[in-house]
Structure 1
Amino acid sequence: MTRRPHPAALVAVVAVGVLAVSGFWVLAPLRDLAIARSAEPPAAVARSEAPPSPAAEPAADPDTGPVPYARNDTVYDISALPVIDVRSVNPAMPVDDDPMGPVTSSLARPLGAGAPVFADPTGQPVGQLPRDHHYGGTTVPVVEAQVDWVKVLLPGRQGVPPEGNGGQTVGWLRAADVELTTTAQYVEVHLQANTIDVVSAAGRERVSDQFAWGKPSTPTPTGRTFIMWTTVVPEFRYTEGHPMVYLGVQSPVMAGFDGGDVAVTAFHYYRTREGDTSFGCIYLDGPAVDRLAQLPPGTPVMIKP
């Protein structure tokens, strides 16, 4: 990145990522969730303003796995909750504790105006994810699914570097608050191998085997993330008219970029595309970034070292 961003555009700073292949493409959670929801009788929505009864932390069982979190039918006024978006800094939001872990092929998007976001399904909501937002980030990948809850990757930061942790955030949404769809593909990036693939049931499509990534002082973040927003920014002349493909993760070391208050990772075109030379973004040739720009919002991305 070498130019000051247009006020209406996000500042791209870090690179795009990849999803873990091992155990990644798991259709079962979405399928099981749909079966469970169709089998249970409709429940009346509790209209109480009182907080739900606390539920015990699910305990791992070697045979059956974690005990599902208890259902929460409390009605929340989401307008009173802080918005979770690319610019938000919310200390209550957890940073992903398993960045190289799998995700499912399920995507979640809030119903209605938005959905309350929980750091922990046994607690109270700490924010709200809107259904629509100018900068995207509202269709998000599911990394864990239960009958009544889904754990998802989210935009925004827990803290601002260098003092705070700017890594990929996660949160829980109630299954009743979201619509669930499936995605047929994900992006896998290997920084040292210098490869980017679009992976689907049909196999691997090599998108690039020559790109630049973050230098040691401004590294490209690694781990699981997702495509947040894709747009063309004519003011970024270095892109030569190609799209910016912004991700949900931001720089681990930069508070902002070029005068902005965000340091968002992106795939984008740049004339120099070799080695660890960027501020964190992944610099690609035109055909590669144009191909990635075809992927829909929420598409999972895994960045491996």
Structure 2
Amino acid sequence: MPPSPNTGRTSSRSWIAVAIGVVVLVAGFTGAWLLRPDAAPVAAPAPTPTVVTPSATPTPVATPAPAPVGFAANTASYDLGALPQVDVFAVIPSLPVDPDPASAPTGEVVTAAGAGAPVFSDPTGDPVAVLPAEYVYGGTTVPVVERQEHWVRVLLTGRQATPSTGNPGQLTGWLRAQDVTFAAVDARVEVSLSARTIDIVGPGGSERIATDFGSGVEGTPTPTGRSFIMTTRVEPSFGYTRGYPLVYLSVQSPTLDGFGGADVAITAFHYHDARSGAISNGCIRLDPAAIQRLSELPMGTPVLITP
């Protein structure tokens, strides 16, 4: 696992179709004779009975539109400057750890529409942090894992706690849909630690980019569950990468409070000469072709690591 950077500081609209009732009008037939005032009355012809065939299916009844699913809208204004920033260095105890780490995201990512978006641990309360629109170490484009009419739940960088003090797992939070800009993300990365495979899965199918790699040892395992690509960069000072990019993830070590003198322990994909089996501090070590391919993916791309 490489040292993390050490300075500085991310609701598919649920519409329920309304059934439109169809009103079937059945007209009866009646007959009548019109007589002039000076004309002698004549006998009316016998009426011809009209046969009405009942419909085979009942007439649909209009259904009222249901109430929108999810939490109510919140249009309040908040002082974002008074809130802690969500970034790779942040430790925010009030933000929840991902409750459903094995599920796939929705295929959307969001970024703050303004300078920042308030982050809520619970949409019925007040915000507890702010997601900046820009940050030097990334993490501002975040995947949506649940979308409602007025809210989205997203994955975030940072931690709820360090491993020595609590649960360091992947953070989540709620953002108001009015505060973010949506974009589609058409790929995700799937890593199987047991099968030693890595695939990029998209609309056109699955592309296998690795059939072996280096991963964490027992004391410093590679974290499992869903996360996302936080940032991608080349660090010339990391000689073991041979100049290839490091693809940093949003999730950090489950056992290390910090690494290499920094107070963060970020998981990353990166190149290494030794890259087979349990060998690392939690990072995933790859060959040049695989790391180059991963470096082409956009920020916010979901990553799912399974045991």
TM-score, normalised to structure 1, is 0.81
Instruction: State the 1:101 CA deviation.
Output: 1.6
Which runs of 5 or more residues in structure 1 are unaligned?
11-28, 37-63
Question: Partners in 2 of 1:68 and 1:100 — Cα distance?
Answer: 22
Paired position in structure 1 for 2:157: 155
Paired position in structure 2 for 1:173: 175
Structure 1 residue 208 corresponds to structure 2 residue 206: no
Paired position in structure 2 for 1:258: 260
Matches within 5 A, 1:1-305: 1=1, 7=6, 30=12, 32=13, 67-305=69-307
The percent identity for this pair of structures is 53
Give the AA of the match of 2:242. E
Give the AA of the match of 1:228. M
Aligned residue pairs: how many? Answer: 257
Residues 191 and 198 in structure 2, CA contact (< 8 A), matched pair in contact too: yes
Question: Partners in 1 of 2:4 and 2:83 — Cα distance?
Answer: 29
Give the AA of the match of 2:117. A
Paired position in structure 2 for 1:56: none
After superposition, the Cα gap between the structure-2 partners of 1:132 and 1:266, relative to the gap in structure 1 and judged at 3 Å, is same
Give the AA of the match of 2:169. G
Question: Partners in 1 of 2:216 and 2:89 — Cα distance?
Answer: 22
Instruction: State the 1:161 CA deviation.
Output: 1.1
Residues 223 and 253 in structure 2, CA contact (< 8 A), matched pair in contact too: yes
Question: Partners in 2 of 1:300 and 1:136 — Cα distance?
Answer: 14
Q: Which has the larger radius of gyration?
A: 2
RMSD across aligned positions (CA):
2.0
After superposition, the Cα gap between the structure-2 partners of 1:217 and 1:166, relative to the gap in structure 1 and judged at 3 Å, is same
Residues 197 and 212 in structure 2, CA contact (< 8 A), matched pair in contact too: yes
After superposition, the Cα gap between the structure-2 partners of 1:5 and 1:134, relative to the gap in structure 1 and judged at 3 Å, is closer
After superposition, the Cα gap between the structure-2 partners of 1:65 and 1:225, relative to the gap in structure 1 and judged at 3 Å, is farther
Instruction: State the 1:277 CA deviation.
Output: 1.1
Question: What CA deviation, in whole Å up to 9, does each residue of 1:207-265 have, x standing for no partner?
Answer: 11110111010010000000000000000000000001000000011000011100001
Question: Partners in 1 of 2:110 and 2:265 — Cα distance?
Answer: 25
After superposition, the Cα gap between the structure-2 partners of 1:215 and 1:150, relative to the gap in structure 1 and judged at 3 Å, is same
Question: Partners in 2 of 1:150 and 1:299 — Cα distance?
Answer: 17
Question: Partners in 2 of 1:103 and 1:5 — Cα distance?
Answer: 25
Residues 108 and 182 in structure 2, CA contact (< 8 A), matched pair in contact too: yes
SS in 1 for 2:289: helix
Residues 9 and 233 in structure 1, CA contact (< 8 A), matched pair in contact too: no
Question: Partners in 2 of 1:267 and 1:75 — Cα distance?
Answer: 39
Instruction: State the 1:102 CA deviation.
Output: 2.3
Residues 195 and 206 in structure 1, CA contact (< 8 A), matched pair in contact too: yes
4+ aligned runs moved over 6 Å, structure 1: none
Give the AA of the match of 2:265. A
Give the AA of the match of 2:303. V
Question: Partners in 1 of 2:94 and 2:6 — Cα distance?
Answer: 28
Give the AA of the match of 1:84. V
Question: Partners in 1 of 2:4 and 2:84 — Cα distance?
Answer: 25
Question: Partners in 2 of 1:139 and 1:151 — Cα distance?
Answer: 13
SS in 2 for 1:253: coil
Question: What CA deviation, in whole Å up to 9, does each residue of 1:266-285 have, x standing for no partner?
Answer: 00000011111110000001
